[in-house]
Chain A
Amino acid sequence: MFNIVAEIVRGLFTTLKHATHEPVTIQYPEIKRPVRYRFKGRHELKRYDNGLEKCIGCALCAAACPADAIFVEASENTDEERYSPGERYSSTYEINMLRCIFCGYCEDACPTEAIVLEDKYELSFVDRESAIYTKEMLIVDVPINGISTPQQVEPGAFDRSIPDMEDPK
């Protein structure tokens, strides 16, 4: 009996000790904790340093996607209107965020490392239409010193269907 009371009193003082600690809560909308290195958040379509898009519209990501969330429509590049260093580029690139399971298979499948699951995780929407993220929403900004797509390039500068991984030209 005495033992029970002593233990309860000890428990009371343990909680009291904790009352002096600083709260561990992070005030979320104001303070955002950085995500982990391998966090899989919203996709981003990357660019090369010169501004060309890495995506060549091969649709391997769409093929790899187990949830069938990705839709890619490719078009031909021309030297007057060049989007990517390859033969083709994605004229339409849509990811349905209601279907996406953030497995990262698209990232693995991509031959040019164009699609990367990055750190953005605030993906709420109020209707089904806004669940579809288009290419404009997914693609990153043109880097400094880069030129926005479509670029006009000299004929014959890009001759590979799948470009080298390093910065082309």
Chain B
Amino acid sequence: MTPGQLALRTLLVGFIITFTVITGFAYTTLLERKLLALLQVRVGPNRAGYIPIPRRGKSELKLLGGVMQPAADAVKLFFKEDPTPAMVEKVTYNLAPALTVIPAILILAVIPWAGPMKIFVSEFTPYFAIAPGLNIAVLFILAVTSISVYGVVLAGWASNSKYAILGGIRASAQMISYELALGLTVLIPIMLADSMDLGDIVMAQQGPLGPIHWFVFRQPLAALVFYIAVLAELQRAPFDLLEAEQELSAGFNVEYAGMRFGMFFMAEYMKMISFSAITAVFFFGGYDGPFVQQVPALGFLYMIGKIFISLCLMIWLRASTPRYRYDQLMALGWKVLFPISVFNFILVAVFIILHQEGLLNFLPAFLLGG
């Protein structure tokens, strides 16, 4: 393929994936509202866009109530007045929403959605992604997610409001603390796969015994720490204390309205989706699943299914858990998750060396992987 074709293909695939995920973001908000309602013995949004099915003798059945709710929300956000408070730092104030939402979308570039396949004339090798075969993909993800801290901090600082600055400071402290645990647990799939390429990490989890090769079964502790760190990184419940409504009204985004608030909202849900995808890739075999070798297109389904399960788990946790206090959050990050991940990291490193030296041959092969 010529560079021109490659650029065109990347553009096209990027466009399709980005818009699919943005649509997915809209429906994640609906999923969250519906699922929370289910868990809280409520109904949830059921007015916008239902399919009326007439029934004899009874009132009509309303099918799929609320499917148009995201569209209604978007229209409402776009037409809301968007005032800029008088004392804000104008440039940073306007920059901050973009700075949070762009990294959230950028993460999608490296996520593998399916195995190697051929669509029309274009061959997707070694896997289907916007930028397949990027050998520093994990580093890219960590770098890009770190940028979104700036969006939050700058939004809090530029707003010139005490609630916003408190929320921003909390957010930055939280994200920086949990990035350590996140980074250290991310190292474990990298070591096991011996690559930073997400495609290689997925391939390292494929094997003749199916899902038992997934890293979650080989490194359950790392997977747990990773997921907790992801929740903290996403500022989802129970770590959503930077948006603690009772204390900070809304946290760093309190001075934003209309679509600029919508961008923060979008960033949060886009990051939910992309981090769910990353969790799936690192620990749940990515696009791996039954018959994915024969039919690579099944990879999309498995990936979407895994993301969906992860999203549901996040929402379920939000419905169930009370919020951590700030010192509890810091204690959990530094005194529990960080030592566990360091210990686990050293342990895995030692075991890999021992395996390479041939001292662990009595263990079943799948435990050690490639």
Contact = CB atoms under 8 A, between A and B. Distances in A.
Interface residues of A, number: 16
Interface stretch (B24-32, B282-290, B313-321): B313-321
B320 A15 contact: yes
B238 to A, nearest CB: 8
B41 A8 contact: no
A8 B38 CA distance: 19
A15 B316 contact: yes
Q: Which 5 A-B pairs have the closest CB atoms?
A: A11-B320, A25-B43, A15-B39, A15-B320, A23-B43
Contacts of A11: 320-321
A8 B336 contact: no
Interface residues of B, number: 15
Contacts of A1: 336
A16 B321 contact: no
Nearest to A9: B320
Given A15-B320, A19-B38, A21-B41, 8 more contacts: A11-B321, A12-B316, A12-B320, A14-B320, A15-B316, A16-B39, A24-B42, A25-B43
A24 B320 contact: no
A27 B320 contact: no
Contacts of B354: none
B40 interface: yes
A24 to B, nearest CB: 5
Contact of B320 (A8, A23, A25): A8
Interface string A15-40: 11011011111010010000000000
B316 to A, nearest CB: 6
Contacts of B317: 8, 12
Contacts of B51: none
Contacts of B42: 23-25
B39 A8 contact: no
Contacts of A21: 41
Nearest to B36: A15
A30 B321 contact: no
Nearest to B313: A12
A21 B38 CA distance: 8
Nearest to A13: B320
B341 to A, nearest CB: 14
A121 B38 CA distance: 29
A1, A15, A16, most chain B CB atoms within 10 A: A15
B37 A23 contact: yes
A12 B39 CA distance: 10
Contacts of A24: 41-42
A142 B342 CA distance: 84
Contacts of A23: 37, 41-43
B144 to A, nearest CB: 30
A22 B41 CA distance: 7
B59 interface: yes
B39, B42, B317, most chain A CB atoms within 10 A: B39
B41 A18 contact: yes
B265 to A, nearest CB: 23
Contact of A8 (B43, B319, B321): B321
Contacts of B336: 1
